Chain A
Amino acid sequence: MRTEEFIRALAADRAVEIRPGLAFGLALAAGAVIAATVFLLALGVRPDVLAVLHTVRFPFKFVVTIALFAAGLRLALALARPGGDAAAAARLLAVPALLIGGALVIELAVVPTAAWGPRLIGSNATVCLSAIPVIAIGPLVAILLALRSGAPTAPARAGASAGLVAAALAATFYAAHCTDDSPLFVATWYSLAIALVVAVGALLGPRVLRW
């Protein structure tokens, strides 16, 4: 079949697939519902939540996780479109990195050296390492499905970005349960848990995002 003939069949087909922006919106809505359900069934919000709302450290955890979520989402959307400006989107990841980095510096300055260890280790490290990846499973599947409606030309990176968005969403929920509010704890254990989900996304990407 000559290309000029083949084009006729393409031109006659008017069906356009769902746009990536809408697909991501649906995926995030579904992912958030699944994540919230898993979170509420398995963990739940910490009992002293009203008291700690007035502290600095507890609300700041959400500032970091939501900034990471927003930057990750922008990156995933850029990677979903051929020719998308992923480099510019990736640079925005500096925002959550600077937020947690700055908080770490301040924490080290205001907390006595003897307290560094206990605050770093905290009391929920293993819960954190397992809960964030488990809560992230639903959102990760949903976002990978949304990416399939796009056309990611770098599937491993696109998969990693899906992992980042899912993990940041999961971390936002988990932060409402966890009683370790020190940036020392967050920078260590949250980062490890999130990195795990990003790695899973990067491994899945080339397998499920081919087009």
Chain B
Amino acid sequence: MALGGRERIWAEWMTAALAGDEAAYHQLLTALTPVLRANTRRSLSQMGAPVGDAEDIVQETLLAIHLHRNTWRQTDPIGPWVAAIARYKLIDSLRRRGRRAEVAIDELADALPDSGADPEEELGRRQVVRLVDRLQGRQGAIVRAISLEGAGIRDVAAKFRMSEGAVRVALHRGLKSLAQLYRSRDG
């Protein structure tokens, strides 16, 4: 992964994020996304795998970075840490896809553009909608409310008549369940 001086600012954002700075964390994830996207697409096309899977892998990688940010220390360079997670998730996801190669071709055919939307973006969008939709009950509803509607913790708490603490617990469990869905998905 090509990394330069931006690693310093990533490390600063992550340090702030681990101290509870939500805005810095959002900046970090936003900055990581295009880098992960470019690298994932390049790797997929080099391996002759469908580039349409890239966005799905990017989201799974971001989720892994998020759930495992406890493994980064301030003294560690953040670039190799991100790159190692991205590589692990790419290989893991290709191995899973290998087991459903025929399905993948069908899905790609299904995803042929029928609108002006970017087909690659569209495929990633459809697959994650499916996984998030499979998140059960309250957890799934909370994850969807925050991502799709941009609701804050307080809004969600009011909407579902829960305490903010209970919303935070359900959100975290929901994201962990989503990671589990990715892992267990064979087809």
* Interchain pairs with CB closer than 8 A, number: 120
Report yes or no: A8 in contact with B20, Cβ–Cβ below 8 A.
Answer: no
A-contact bits for B99-114, CB 8 A (1 contact / 0 none): 0000000000000000
A73 shortest CB reach to chain B, Å: 16
A-contact bits for B10-49, CB 8 A (1 contact / 0 none): 0000000010101001100110010001000000000000
Report yes or no: B22 in contact with A1, Cβ–Cβ below 8 A.
Answer: no
Interfacial chain B residues near A20, Cβ < 8 Å: 70-71
Asked if A3 meets B33 with Cβ closer than 8 Å, knowing A13-B175, A83-B76, the reply is yes
Asked if A2 meets B66 with Cβ closer than 8 Å, knowing A83-B77, A150-B71, the reply is no
Report yes or no: B25 in contact with A11, Cβ–Cβ below 8 A.
Answer: yes
B69 contacts the other chain (Cβ, under 8 Å)? yes
Report yes or no: B62 in contact with A6, Cβ–Cβ below 8 A.
Answer: yes
A23 shortest CB reach to chain B, Å: 9
B172 contacts the other chain (Cβ, under 8 Å)? yes
Report yes or no: B64 in contact with A151, Cβ–Cβ below 8 A.
Answer: yes
A12 CA / B76 CA spacing, docked (Å): 24
A150 CA / B84 CA spacing, docked (Å): 13
Count B-side interface residues using an 8 Å CB cutoff.
56
Report yes or no: B68 in contact with A3, Cβ–Cβ below 8 A.
Answer: no
B-side binding surface: helix, strand, loop or mixed? Answer: helix
Report yes or no: A9 in contact with B62, Cβ–Cβ below 8 A.
Answer: no
The one of A10, A18, A149, A153 that contacts B63, using a Cβ cutoff of 8 Å: A10
Report yes or no: B66 in contact with A3, Cβ–Cβ below 8 A.
Answer: no
A55 CA / B148 CA spacing, docked (Å): 71
A4 contacts the other chain (Cβ, under 8 Å)? yes
A19 contacts the other chain (Cβ, under 8 Å)? yes
Interfacial chain A residues near B152, Cβ < 8 Å: 12
Interfacial chain A residues near B84, Cβ < 8 Å: 82-83, 153
B53 contacts the other chain (Cβ, under 8 Å)? no
Closest 10 CB pairs of A and B: A82-B84, A83-B80, A151-B68, A83-B84, A15-B172, A11-B26, A83-B81, A153-B88, A9-B147, A10-B66
Residues of A within 8 A of B (CB): 1-20, 80-84, 149-151, 153, 210-211
What are 20 A-B contacts with C-beta separation under 8 Å? A3-B33, A3-B58, A4-B30, A6-B63, A6-B128, A7-B29, A8-B147, A9-B146, A9-B171, A11-B22, A15-B172, A18-B70, A19-B71, A82-B88, A83-B83, A84-B76, A150-B71, A153-B85, A153-B87, A211-B67
